[in-house]
Structure 1
Amino acid sequence: MANLQNERTKKLIYLGFRDLLTKESFSKITINEIADEAMIHRSTFYTHFNDKYDLLNQYLNSQRTDSNFKMDDFFDHPFTTVATINNQELLPLLSLQSNDTDFRTGFFQFIIDTVMADQSDKTDLDRFFFIGRIKAINLWIEKTHQPYNPFVDYHYLDQVFKTGKK
């Protein structure tokens, strides 16, 4: 019974968190707001999550788990694969939050965790090179003020990922 109650509470937190992400940037969202939106006590939040970054990571992971996500597709075209994770629910949130540095940091950590947890025959070196290429593209966009949004221009960025050319 306690397990079912924990799942229900997490779902309420996810729903409240998702609603908040449609209204304000991730960096401005507080734990108190998340707890209020989920109709729980602040201490209940900390029973399930370490902080809002942990919540973001677990929420994204739940969306990935509920989708048709395939690691092979992810390694072949990562930006498109991410964009299609639970497309109807997640993609609008990713687009809204794409300019928030804290959100991008949390999202990149989700990417790292997903790649490192992969159980395929990829070597650690393959995984780190993959992560490096994703990070390099994001840094290129950010530092050179490229007009690309990883959550909107995913087809183009997959071409950059494959070829290393603009």
Structure 2
Amino acid sequence: MSESMITKQAIASGFKQLMKEKTFDKITILDITKTCGLNRQTFYYHFQDKYELLNWIFYNEVILVLTKDLSLDTWPDNLFHMLTVMKENDTFYRNAINHSFQEEFRNYLLTISEELFCSIIDHIKVNYSMPEEDQKFLSRFLSYGVVDSIVYWVKEGMVRSPLELKKHIVSIVNECKMYATKHPTTLL
């Protein structure tokens, strides 16, 4: 691992520790650098501000986990792994989503999930023709449902286990897939 990556992870770790004690809005760059034993110049060498740091954490801990080797076969396991990472860092993610970064996080997940659902729909529409407009609508509909379920799960304190939430989401997506294959002309 590069020295730059080690430093970024140290900064992220210090920031996550602070997020257990303070809300995002109350944390300063000075707080972060004191916590990880670095100076402000080092922080600014790696991140423009705390928003970019938060974005980097989300990307590396959530988005990369969700998208790693993403396919129709792997998405449920990737979803479970992502939810597990979030649950293991529950205070951080609750604080981040409740106090600062909900829309950015949500938009990240919406983009990825919409692409995934387009792929799933492409796979199931082999037996019939679905207009592209309907495919986009269905993908967007499923994406908003899944992503908002995840955001709600975080906001409500992650009471359900990652496995329970994954099973619930996968079940609903599978039911929608079965409905779409049985009723291709009644999607809208």
TM bracket (short chain): 0.5 to 0.7
Q: What is the TM-score of this pair, normalised by structure 2? A: 0.55
Assess if the C-alpha contact under 8 Å between 2:146 and 2:169 holds in 1: no
Distance 1:104 1:36, change over 3 A: same
Question: CA separation in 2, counterparts of 1:78 and 1:152?
Answer: 20
Question: CA separation in 1, counterparts of 2:20 and 2:110?
Answer: 24
Assess if the C-alpha contact under 8 Å between 1:95 and 1:151 holds in 2: no
Matched, 1:101 2:119: no
Q: Which amino acid aligns with 1:94?
A: D
Task: Give the Å deviation of 1:151.
Answer: 3.1
Matched, 1:57 2:66: no
Q: Which amino acid aligns with 2:83?
A: A
List gaps (5 residues or longer) in structure 2.
123-134, 174-188
Task: Give the Å deviation of 1:83.
Answer: 1.7
* Equivalences, count: 153
Task: Give the Å deviation of 1:6.
Answer: 1.7
- Calculate percent identity across the aligned residue pairs: 21
Residue of structure 2 in register with 1:149 after alignment: 156
Q: What is the TM-score of this pair, normalised by structure 1? A: 0.60
RMSD: 4.4
Alignment of 1:15-54 (within 5 A): 15-54=13-52
For residue 134 of structure 1, the aligned residue among 141, 146, 153 is 146
Q: Which amino acid aligns with 1:108?
A: R
List gaps (5 residues or longer) in structure 1.
143-147
Residue of structure 1 in register with 2:168 after alignment: 159
Distance 1:52 1:129, change over 3 A: farther
Assess if the C-alpha contact under 8 Å between 1:91 and 1:151 holds in 2: yes
Q: Which amino acid aligns with 1:132?
A: Y
Which of the two has greater helix per residue?
2
Residue of structure 2 in register with 1:71 after alignment: 70
Task: Give the Å deviation of 1:63.
Answer: 2.9
Larger Rg: 2
